[in-house]
Structure formats: structure tokens, C-alpha cells
């Protein structure tokens, strides 16, 4: 019995020792600035225990040879449909479903998580689709590991433009039947805005009249009220120039905290975006056909970044997007600074998602989500050699 | 059962009811039937060699191996008829099909509204449907008629003796579905997220609501939240299984999973949740993955049962096929037999009545020409509540 106990203690002690990793010899990008030589990263118990030059290395720690390799924090993709059936996954029985939660439909074993990990993405924001005016709540989710949820209900999706109306029908002659649940508003861009304003005004009514238990806010209204109170960020999909301006106008009208999603034609409305001071989660710059008939430009990201807008690069749920690291490369091709492009897939999206205390940068105490690259990650020849999530390797080691 | 049936006949006295009873009344053994066979699996893995079973009033009164001469005398005194099926015959408990839609002609959902917890399958149960004759002939002596997969909360399943009128205690588990069939493009919910949201909305309504003020639907839902009545959740893919287990945790449900086709991909979660699984029947068309699943579950310690589902007339003898194929796939015979007898009985909460041949249980007995997991074996007789329903010549 005593021997068994001793063995147990010994083995658990060994496991704890095994948990301590020392990554030495690589050039390290911490989430800001440029790659630095000579930095050592020490990982313990799933967290970054220390990072710096000439720091003491605990005895018995496992050395990982990172010579001639490049280290970045695990990438953060701030707009995805990973684990959902498609980018159009919505509860379509109603246009206004802000209370519906993407987390209820995620398949944690989905193949696209594995592809994301292989491309160095360790954290993703997963949100419902674009077929509803208010699509629902998104979740910040790790792409691998044991404990996947980072932050529940991190934002509510609002979609402007034509997509929410595209599934609806109007007159009988146009394919609509009055008994169908799709025989409803909106049917166009203006109707979408009308739905947004009606939903917010209804929520304000309930909040302000406060008539007691008979008129309790619905689950949907509770989400909208927390958006009106600026406790919940409103992830606003706006692609066309006029949609971006609409988003900013609605933000001002209702005092809501908007994050612009996709923002394909932000180059047309740059002054307004800068003046509003809202963050942007841009769509993939490699994709040359904008959604909803919008016109993308390769230099949009560079323009936004140079104008001082807080901008993240995302795959925007698009199945035709390249791996996030390649999209960052396209942003550089469009004129974005290399360091800014790397920050736009690590520390900036983490900050926009409100999870920068845990992921997106390599600092003491943060989650040990680390990618070891074969070359400078923005090189088209680069490959994620190893990926750790919470200090645990989640890919097979390769050359 | 018999006394209840007689009482039922007397009280109702309806012409149809009498018609249904008359067939069984002819064969009923009023005072003891002695059944002899080479072997009896009283429970999976528990055999009586040269077994004698004494049946009285629809119940098993005694079951012994190699009876002594004295015991034989006593048995013969109590039995007014003796059926000796010979030394090659094997007895098992009648099969329990815990999830079937047989004989209902698509009647088991009200799909215009997806949340219909108050609907009762016993009201759609047609005891005279020809399907039941076919199903009992294949060895199913107890069945749970379940609302089908088209509704998020389909209603309450009914535990029945196939072919006999449903008893007053027929109401069984609460049937839910998170499969694609429940996601109708023309009504709520259209998505899995929406299904979770709908359930949350209905559960929230129950908070601070006095039971007296509840609608029948709300009462039915309240009966399962917190772990009262058990819940069967149909789910197929990984995301559906996760959603089912999420609901289980959130509302503290006493869950078992139905189908769970992709259980292998999220095995750890199912093991952690400690929920039983009711699998689709195995057949000659089953995919490799389906064939592998029972073994995977057995290895992980997950209790599984087979269901007959729609029991399409494929020409194969129903649950016996699943039993035989499971054994061929490497499941132990005891475990495979349990998956069509004791486990479904447990899931339906009817272990005290059916699933085994212990003393005091319903006399639901299958007489096989050999081991039941051998597809060469035929059913020589199907006995339910002590009455011979079907008999085949040796």
C-alpha cells in the first residue's frame, strides 16, 4: 500500500516535471512588434511560466529544440463557423433570434477544427450564420485541447445588407405563401434596418416600462437590453459601403458597442470608420469575390491599419478562405506592415473578443497556446511544425 | 396480468375488447403450465440445464435445473398441462423492444408544432394492427411504442404488450429528438441551436409556476426536469449527441440516447455522462461503423440495447438478427442477449416484470431450437403471460 502510494506520488511528480517545457533557440513573436532572437519560453501547467532572455530554467524541464524555427502565439480567428454545419446556420423560424447560442450546435470533433489547428489557429470565435437580422450569440472556443470554451456569449450577431432578407418571400406570385414562416419581413436592405430598429425599440420599451413579472423581457429582449447597456458587443456584419455607414449610424442611435464584421468596402467609408473608433474584424483579403455583391480591395486592411483602426484579419466563415496565416500574407501583399499583420491574427483579435488576458500573446501567466513555424510564418513556404494548446501538443510532430 | 385482463374485459365489456381477448382465452392455462427444455437462460449468462419452468396466472412461479423426482411430482401436481420441447430447446426471456414505431402508420408525431410533450403514444397504439402479430412472432413480447423523431419533444412513449390493449400504467419515457428529422424548415426549430433555445424557453416558463396552473404540456415537461421521468433523446451525429448531453446536464435529466450513430467519435463524453444507448438494429445492410459500434461501447463500459425501430419487413427475424450479428462481431453472448432483454427492460423501468425468467416475472418466454444468437435457430414457441401466442412445428 505504502509502496503503491509512493509510486503514485512519484509518477504524478514525474508528470508534473514532464509538463514543464523550455522552448529555446527560435525567433519569437510575442503578439506585438517584430520577431526577437534569444527569447526563451518556459511552459508549466498549461500556462506560460516565464518568457525572457537568460531566465532561470527549472531542473528537469524538457527542452524543445527550436533552432532556426519561428514561434508565435496561437492564432485567433475572430469570425468563423468552425464546428457548425455551414456559414448559414441559423434558427430561421424567426428573424430576431439574438438569444440563440452557437455553442449549442458545435461539433467539437469537426474536421475543420483539425484543419484550423494544423494552420496554427488555436482560438476561434464561432457565431451563428447570416440569414437572420439578429443571428444569435457567439462563443470564443479553442480549436483543440481538453477545456475548449474560453468565453461564452462573447457577442451577438447582427447582419445588415441583403442576406437576412434573401431567404424570405413576399407575394404569392414571388414564391411566397401566406402560411409559410418565410412570408415575412425583411425582403431587402431597408427592411433589415427596420427589423433592427423595431427589435431595439421593443427591448427599450420593456426595459423602461418595467411593468413587473407580467411583462418580463423575453430571452431575446434580455440579450438586446444588455447590448443597449453596452454589456454585450454587437458583431455587425456590414459589407457594402452603405451598410457600414448604417452600422455606424445604428451604433450612435442606440448607443451600442459595435464591432464591424467583414467590412469588405471599408476603403470607401474609411473616414467614418476612423471617426467612429470601432474595431473591425475584416474578411479574408485573398477572396476576390465579395459577399452580397460587394467589391473587395486587397489594400483595405493596410488602409485601415495605417489609419489607426483596430483591425483583425479573419476567415469570415467563408469556405473559400485560405488558412488564416496565408490570409495574413495577403494582407502584407496589400501593403500591411508585417508586424501589424501578425498582430491582426493574434493579439488584436484577442483584444476585440475580450479574451486578451488568456490568449493572443506570449506573456507570463497566459495560456500556453504556441505555434512553432518552420520559417517566418508569412512566408508562403512556412508550415506549423508543432502546435501546443494549454501546454499540450495537439498536432503530430513533423520536420 | 391475466386477472387485470379479465377485469378489463368485464368492466369494459365492449365487443371489440372481447374479440381481442377470445383468442388468448382459449390457450390460457388456468392452473399451471409446466415448460421443459434442454436449457433456460433465466438471465443473460445464467443458465439452467434441463430446465423446468412452472407458469401460473401469467407469471413464472418456479424455475429449476435438473429437477429431482420429488420436485417433478410437485410440479406435475400443480400443472394441468406440460410442454416438453426436448433436450435441444433453449428458453430465453421474451425480447423487449424499447423504441419502436411499428403498427402506427406514421401517426406518432404532430409535426406542425415541434413541442408536444403532452401527447401520449398510448393514444395512437392500435392493438389490432397486423404488425404486432409479425413482431410477436419474431420474439418481441414487450414493446415501447415511442413518438417518432420528427418532434423536439414528441410526447410520452407507451409500454405495451404488443397486440393487447394498453394498460393504465402504459405511460413510459419522455421522447425527445435532436436529429435532423426534428428540424423542420417550415416551423420552429429549424436548427439545432434553435432546438436548444426552444427547450430553454419552455423550461424557463416552468420556473415559479405552481403545478396547479400548469398546462398538460408544462406538467409533462416538469415531470422530467430534475431527473424524474426518464427521457429518451434521439440523436445521431456528434453535435446532436453533445447537444443531448448538454441538455441532460442543464436540466438534470435522466437520459438515455437513441441511435447515437456517431457515438464512437465522442465516446469519452458518453462514458462521462454515464447514459445508456439504444442502438438501431443491426442488419445485413449495416455499415462497418454500425457493426463496430456495439463492441466499442461494450469496451468503454457503456450500456447499450438494440431497438426494432420501424421493424420494416426485411424478411429477417427482427431483434434476433441484431443479437446474432452482435455476437458475430465479438460481443459476448451474455452481453448481446442482455441488449435485447434485460437492458431494454431496465431502460423502460420494467425490470421487475420482464427481461428475465426469474420467479415472479411475467411468463414471457421464447422457446428456441438452439442458441438464440445462432441464426440457424428457429423460434419453436412464443409465450406471453403464460399464453402460447405462436408455435412452430419442431
Of B389, B355, B339, which is closest to residue B142 (Cα–Cα)?
Answer: B355
Question: B257 to chain A, minimum CA–CA distance in Å?
Answer: 17
Using CB atoms, pick whichever of A105, A107, A181 lies closest to residue B191.
A105
**CB A84 within 8 Å of CB A116:** no
Closest A-chain CA to B242: A107
Using CB atoms, pick whichever of A85, A91, A108 lies closest to residue B197.
A91
Domain count, chain B: 2
For CA atoms B224, B226, B229, B231, the dihedral sign is positive
B352 in a structural domain:
no
Q: Torsions phi, psi of B163, nearest 5?
A: 95, -15
Question: A223 to chain B, minimum CA–CA distance in Å?
Answer: 13
Find where cell 420501424 sits: B310
| Contact (CB<8Å) A94/B189 | no
Rounded to whole angstroms, how far apart are CA atoms A315 and A159? 17
**Are B228 and B374 in the same domain?**
no
Using CB atoms, pick whichever of B187, B237, B266 lies closest to residue A93.
B187
**CB B221 within 8 Å of CB A86:** no
Spell out which residues of chain A touch residue B187, defining contact as CB-CB under 8 Å: 93, 181
Rounding to the nearest 10 degrees, give the CA dihedral for residues A31, A32, A37, A40. Answer: -40
Using CB atoms, pick whichever of A91, A102, A108 lies closest to residue B189.
A91
Residue B74 makes CB contacts below 8 A (sequence gap 6+) with none
Domain boundaries, chain A: 19-73+364-393, 87-352
Strand-strand pairing, B140-145 and B46-56: unpaired
Between CA B368 and CA B380, with CA B374 as vertex, the angle to 5 degrees is 15
Rounded to whole angstroms, how far apart are CA atoms B255 and A359? 36
- Note down pLDDT in tens along chain B; length 394 residues: 444 544 444 444 444 444 444 444 444 444 789 999 999 999 999 999 999 999 999 999 999 999 888 888 888 888 889 999 999 999 999 999 999 998 877 788 888 899 999 999 999 999 998 889 989 999 999 999 999 999 999 999 999 999 999 888 899 999 999 999 999 878 899 999 999 999 999 999 998 899 999 999 999 999 999 999 999 999 999 999 999 999 999 999 999 999 999 999 999 999 999 999 999 999 888 899 999 999 999 999 999 999 987 756 555 678 999 999 999 999 999 999 999 999 999 999 999 999 999 999 999 999 999 999 999 999 999 999 999 999 997 6
The rounded radius of gyration (Å) of the Cα atoms in chain A is 23
Q: B-contacting residues of A 200-239, CB under 8 Å?
A: 219
Give the Å distances, CA to CA, from B290 to B236, B260, B373. Answer: 12, 10, 18
Domain range for B153 is 95-347
Question: In angstroms, how far apart are the furthest CA atoms of chain B?
Answer: 71
Rounded to whole angstroms, how far apart are CA atoms A17 and A21? 9
DSSP B356: S
| Contact (CB<8Å) A219/B200 | yes
**Are B115 and B164 in the same domain?**
yes
Cα B40–chain centre separation? 21
**pLDDT, tens only, A323-377:** 999 999 999 999 999 999 999 999 999 999 999 999 999 999 999 999 999 999 9
Cα B280–chain centre separation? 13
B196 in a structural domain:
yes
**pLDDT, tens only, A162-216:** 999 888 877 666 666 777 888 888 989 999 999 999 999 999 998 888 666 667 8
Spell out which residues of chain B touch residue A92, defining contact as CB-CB under 8 Å: 185, 190-191, 194
Number of CB pairs < 8 Å for A and B? 73
- Class in CATH terms, A19-73+364-393: mainly beta
B61 in a structural domain:
yes
ipTM attached to this prediction:
0.86
**Are B189 and B259 in the same domain?**
yes
A81 vs B: CB within 8 A: no
Q: A-contacting residues of B 182-201, CB under 8 Å?
A: 185-197, 200-201
**Are B9 and B137 in the same domain?**
no
Using CB atoms, pick whichever of A128, A180, A181 lies closest to residue B193.
A128
Give the number of other Cβ atoms within 10 Å of residue B3's Cβ. 9
**Under DSSP, is residue B120 helix (H, G, I), strand (E, B) or coil?**
strand
**Under DSSP, is residue A28 helix (H, G, I), strand (E, B) or coil?**
strand
B243 vs A: CB within 8 A: yes
**What percent helix, strand, coil does chain A show, rounded to 5?**
30, 25, 45
Q: What does B252-272 look like in DSSP terms, one character per residue?
A: T-EEEEEE-TTGGGGHHHHHH
Q: Torsions phi, psi of A252, nearest 5?
A: -75, -45
DSSP A62: E
Q: Which three cell numbers stand for residue A213?
A: 413579472
Give the Å distances, CA to CA, from A220 to A54, A84, A210, A395. Answer: 54, 21, 16, 40
Q: From 2.40.50.140, 3.20.20.140, 3.20.20.70, 3.60.15.10, which CATH number describes the A87-352 domain?
A: 3.20.20.140
B65 in a structural domain:
yes
Tell me, what CATH number does B362's domain have? Answer: 2.30.40.10
| Contact (CB<8Å) A110/B238 | yes
Q: Which three cell numbers stand for residue B362?
A: 411475467
Using CB atoms, pick whichever of B191, B204, B265 lies closest to residue A91.
B191
**Under DSSP, is residue B44 helix (H, G, I), strand (E, B) or coil?**
coil
Name residue A238's beta-bridge partners.
A262
**Are B111 and B88 in the same domain?**
no
A163 vs B: CB within 8 A: no
Helix axes B192-206, A219-228, angle to 10 degrees: 100
Amino acid at each position: 500500500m505504502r509502496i503503491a502510494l509512493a509510486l503514485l506520488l512519484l509518477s504524478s511528480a514525474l508528470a508534473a516535471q514532464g509538463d514543464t517545457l523550455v522552448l529555446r533557440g527560435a525567433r519569437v513573436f510575442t503578439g506585438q512588434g517584430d520577431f526577437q532572437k534569444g527569447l526563451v519560453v518556459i511552459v508549466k501547467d498549461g500556462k506560460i511560466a516565464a518568457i525572457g532572455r537568460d531566465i532561470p530554467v527549472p531542473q528537469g524541464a524538457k527542452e524543445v529544440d527550436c533552432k532556426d524555427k519561428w514561434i508565435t502565439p496561437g492564432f485567433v480567428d475572430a469570425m468563423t463557423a468552425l464546428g457548425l454545419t455551414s456559414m448559414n446556420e441559423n434558427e430561421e423560424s424567426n428573424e430576431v433570434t439574438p438569444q440563440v447560442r452557437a455553442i449549442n450546435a458545435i461539433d467539437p470533433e469537426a474536421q475543420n477544427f483539425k484543419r484550423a489547428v494544423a494552420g496554427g489557429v488555436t482560438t476561434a470565435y464561432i457565431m451563428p450564420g447570416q440569414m437572420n437580422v439578429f443571428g444569435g450569440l457567439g462563443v470564443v472556443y479553442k480549436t483543440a485541447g481538453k477545456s475548449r470554451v474560453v468565453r461564452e456569449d462573447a457577442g451577438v450577431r447582427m447582419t445588415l445588407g441583403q442576406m437576412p432578407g434573401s431567404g424570405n418571400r413576399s407575394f404569392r406570385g414571388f414564391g411566397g405563401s401566406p402560411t409559410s414562416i418565410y412570408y415575412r419581413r425583411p425582403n431587402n436592405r431597408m427592411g433589415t434596418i427596420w427589423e433592427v430598429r423595431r427589435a431595439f425599440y421593443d427591448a427599450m420599451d420593456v426595459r423602461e416600462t418595467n411593468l413587473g413579472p407580467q411583462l418580463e423581457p423575453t430571452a431575446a429582449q434580455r440579450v438586446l437590453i444588455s447590448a443597449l447597456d453596452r454589456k454585450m458587443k454587437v458583431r455587425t456584419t456590414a459589407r457594402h459601403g452603405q451598410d457600414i455607414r448604417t452600422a455606424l449610424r445604428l451604433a450612435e442611435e442606440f448607443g451600442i458597442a459595435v464591432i464591424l464584421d467583414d467590412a469588405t468596402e471599408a476603403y470607401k467609408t474609411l473616414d467614418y470608420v476612423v471617426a467612429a473608433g470601432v474595431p473591425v474584424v475584416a474578411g479574408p483579403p485573398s477572396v476576390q469575390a465579395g459577399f452580397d455583391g460587394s467589391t473587395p480591395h486587397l489594400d483595405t486592411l493596410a488602409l485601415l491599419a495605417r489609419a489607426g483602426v483596430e483591425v483583425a484579419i479573419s476567415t469570415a466563415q467563408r469556405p473559400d478562405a485560405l488558412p488564416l496565416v496565408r490570409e495574413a500574407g495577403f494582407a502584407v501583399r496589400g501593403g500591411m506592415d508585417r508586424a501589424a499583420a501578425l498582430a491582426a491574427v493574434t493579439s488584436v483579435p484577442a483584444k476585440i473578443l475580450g479574451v486578451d488576458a488568456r490568449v493572443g500573446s506570449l506573456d507570463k501567466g497566459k495560456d500556453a497556446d504556441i505555434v512553432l513555424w518552420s520559417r517566418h510564418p508569412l512566408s508562403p513556404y512556412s508550415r506549423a511544425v508543432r502546435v501546443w494548446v494549454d501546454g499540450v501538443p495537439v498536432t503530430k510532430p513533423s520536420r | 396480468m391475466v386477472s387485470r385482463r379479465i377485469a378489463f374485459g368485464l368492466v369494459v365489456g365492449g365487443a371489440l375488447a372481447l374479440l381481442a381477448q377470445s383468442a388468448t382465452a382459449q390457450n390460457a392455462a388456468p392452473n399451471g403450465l409446466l415448460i421443459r427444455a434442454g436449457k433456460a437462460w433465466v438471465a443473460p449468462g445464467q443458465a439452467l440445464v434441463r430446465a423446468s419452468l412452472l407458469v401460473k396466472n401469467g407469471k413464472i412461479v418456479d424455475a429449476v435445473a435438473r429437477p429431482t423426482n420429488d420436485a417433478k411430482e410437485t410440479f406435475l401436481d400443480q400443472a394441468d398441462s406440460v410442454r416438453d420441447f426436448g433436450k435441444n430447446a433453449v428458453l430465453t426471456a421474451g425480447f423487449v423492444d424499447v423504441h419502436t414505431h411499428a403498427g402506427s402508420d406514421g401517426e406518432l408525431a404532430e409535426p406542425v408544432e415541434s413541442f408536444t410533450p403532452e401527447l401520449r403514444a398510448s393514444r395512437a397504439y392500435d392493438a389490432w394492427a397486423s404488425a404486432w402479430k409479425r413482431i410477436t412472432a419474431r420474439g418481441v413480447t414487450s414493446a415501447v411504442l415511442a413518438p417518432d423523431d420528427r418532434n423536439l419533444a414528441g410526447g410520452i412513449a407507451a409500454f405495451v404488450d404488443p397486440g393487447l390493449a394498453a394498460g393504465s400504467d402504459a405511460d413510459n419515457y419522455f421522447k425527445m429528438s435532436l436529429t435532423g428529422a426534428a428540424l423542420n424548415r417550415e416551423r420552429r426549430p429549424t436548427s439545432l441551436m434553435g432546438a436548444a433555445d426552444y427547450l430553454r424557453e419552455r423550461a424557463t416558463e416552468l420556473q415559479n409556476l405552481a403545478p396547479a396552473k400548469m398546462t398538460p404540456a408544462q406538467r409533462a415537461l416538469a415531470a422530467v426536469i430534475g431527473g424524474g421521468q426518464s427521457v429518451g433523446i434521439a440523436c445521431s451525429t456528434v453535435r446532436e449527441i453533445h447537444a443531448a448531453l448538454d441538455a441532460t446536464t442543464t436540466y438534470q435529466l435522466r437520459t438515455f440516447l437513441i441511435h447515437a450513430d456517431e457515438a464512437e467519435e465522442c465516446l469519452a463524453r458518453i462514458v462521462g455522462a454515464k447514459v445508456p444507448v439504444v442502438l438501431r438494429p443491426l442488419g445485413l445492410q449495416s455499415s462497418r461503423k454500425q457493426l463496430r459500434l456495439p463492441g466499442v461501447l461494450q469496451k468503454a463500459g457503456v450500456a447499450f440495447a438494440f431497438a426494432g425501430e420501424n421493424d420494416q419487413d426485411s424478411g429477417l427475424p427482427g431483434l434476433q438478427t441484431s443479437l446474432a450479428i452482435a455476437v458475430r462481431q465479438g460481443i459476448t453472448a451474455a452481453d448481446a442477449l442482455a441488449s435485447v432483454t434485460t437492458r431494454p427492460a431496465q431502460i423502460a423501468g420494467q425490470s421487475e416484470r420482464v427481461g428475465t425468467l426469474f420467479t415472479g416475472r411475467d411468463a414471457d418466454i421464447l422457446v428456441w431450437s438452439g442458441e438464440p444468437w445462432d441464426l440457424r435457430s428457429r423460434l419453436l414457441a412464443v409465450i406471453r403471460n403464460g399464453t402460447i401466442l405462436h408455435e412452430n412445428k419442431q
